[in-house]
Each structure stands twice: as C-alpha cells, then as structure tokens.
Amino acid sequence: MPLAPAPSVPSAGPSAPAGSTGGPMGPGVMPTGASQGAGAGAVPPPPAPVPVSAARMERDAIAVSSTAAALQRKQAGNDPLAVARRIGAALNMGHSKDPGFYWVTGLTKDGAIVVANTYGLGYIPDGVKLPESVKLASADESIPAGVRGSWATYPIVALHGWAQHHDTTLRAVIATEDQFKGFDPGAAPIILQPDDIPETGQMQGRDRLTVISPDVSARLMKMSDAALMELLPPASVDVEGPQNRRVELLLEVFRPLLSSDPGRIPVQLEAMVSYADHMQELAIHSAHTAADGEAQRSAIADWLYWQHLGVLTSDALAGAS
C-alpha cells in the first residue's frame, strides 16, 4: 500500500510504577459564547485557535493586570502556562464518548506543551485536532514504541517519560481534580475548575492522521479524487459490509482501566489492536461506498489512521515482550 506506515523495530521500556491507579499559540482566543458584534448576514469569524471559557478569560486578565505579574504583562497574553491550561481545558471539554477516556496536559520547563491520554498509543478521538505546537507523547517516533507502550493507561507517566527522553522536566501538570486522584503529578499540579472548561473543545490544528503520520497525511491530501480508489484493497463481496462491533470492542479497551494493576497495560494494548483492526474494516467499507470524493477521502484517512495505530500498538507489544 503506497501510503501505509512502515512498522518500526522497538526496544523494551520500563513498566508503569507499581501501585499506580487507574509555533506559539498566541493570544488569539475568545470566550466561547461571547458576542462578536457582527451584524446579520456578516461572515462569521473563524474559530479561535484555542477556545477559552469566559471565567478563565476573566481570571487570566486579572492575573496579567496584577502588579505581581510583570512578566506576564510583557508576554502580552502568551504565558505558556495560560496557553497550556486552555488547551487542557479544551481537550477535556467532554465531547469524547469513549468510556474512561481523558486527557492530561504537561508544560515543560522550557515551555513545550505535551499531552497524553488513557487510551493506548497515538489514540485521538475522531474530530479532535491538536494545535501545531502541541506534542502527543505516545506518538513521538523518536521514542521506541516499546517504551511508549509502557506508559499506556498512565498519562502522567507518559508526560514525564516524554520529558525525560527530551532531557527536560515538567514545570506543571494540568488536569481536573478527579483525574489527579490516586496519582502523584511529579510537578506543580494545575487543577482545572469546572468553569475553566469551554463550551466547545474544537481547536484549530492537525487532525489525528496528521499527528501520528504527517507524511502519509500530506501525500493523501495531494492525491486527486480519481486516484483514491487505487489505495483501497478490493471491496468485500458482502455488500452489507462488516457487522459493526465498535461499541463491544471499545468496551474491551476501556475495561482494563477499572483495574489498578499495572498488568492492565498489555491487556489494553491487545484490545486496542483488535479495535483498530475492526475500525479499519469499517473504514474500508465506508470508502468503497462513499457518495463522493470528499467522503471517500475522509474514510481513507480513517483507514490509514487505524492501520498506523494498529501497527504502532503491535510494535509496542512486541517491544515489551
């Protein structure tokens, strides 16, 4: 397959600790739900790079205007911690219906923003975009897949593991109070308040295929609609397509999160391989039955994403054995 990701050869990494339980963003943000003063018929403004709640916008404005925040004033709203907190809040807006799924955000001492979640390696819910400057810890191909696999289901461990690999440390870890329960953040905890969460979590940035396989995504986007069919395997003789077992298999991905045993890691990774394989089947059928080029391109992007995710997760399991 010309766009398929090439498997890597990982090395084994450390296990999650025993006893654990389950370019600059700039000031271009606006309170969600705020009126823009546009008249009827005016072209609506583009979405803000990172949405922010009105309450958080007000708190940040007070902090910047205080005499103790001279550095923040110089940065004119570009304080990395404020940006990281807004990204963490947007990711945890709650639009994901995946059980047990949540995001944790880290800010390194040198200002890098890195995120991790409770699902496997490279997993991003459909429709979620990450800003260009944000790193997904489990998708960093400079780190062996086996090492990244050892972080699965433990997002705070993933943040610290990523920072250690890049010879830096975390300045802060950002999550809700419930998400911190049972975990040592290992850095200054920044607790997201309920009114920090914006009305929408939609951010400008990279879709999930671009995050985990930017080269494949770029090649797909350059292909004409007429050439898309060349990428696909032959259509199934069953015109009805595969039975949709998404919910059933997704519950198997979630189930290990109910355990506090670090042995849950390979269990979830194995479940994720099965889930990714099934999602590939569904995406291929959708691509073959798409009504137009746009829908077909979207389905192929999904297929390539799940294909890459399945290979990555299998590599992680092999690297840990």
Domain ranges for the chain: 54-206, 209-320
What is the reported pLDDT for 147? 98
**Residue type for 165, please?**
H
Q: Cα angle vertex 105, ends 266, 92, to 5°?
A: 90
Distance of CA 155 to the CA centre of its chain: 11
User: 286-321 burial by CB neighbour count: b if 16+ within 10 A, else e?
Assistant: bbbebeeeeebbbbbbbbbbbbbbbbbbbbbbbbbe
Contacts of 104 (CB under 8 A, 6+ apart): 88, 115, 116, 117, 155, 156, 159, 173, 174, 175, 179
CA distances from 211 to 199, 255, 307 (A): 24, 26, 14
pLDDT beneath 70: ranges in the chain: 1-48, 50-77, 94-95, 200-201, 321
For the entire predicted model, the pTM comes to 0.79
- DSSP structure class, residue 204: S
Say which residue the tokens 């959708």 belong to: 286
The two tokens of residue 267 are 């269990």
Tens digit of pLDDT for each residue in 45-74? 444 476 555 565 556 565 655 545 555 544
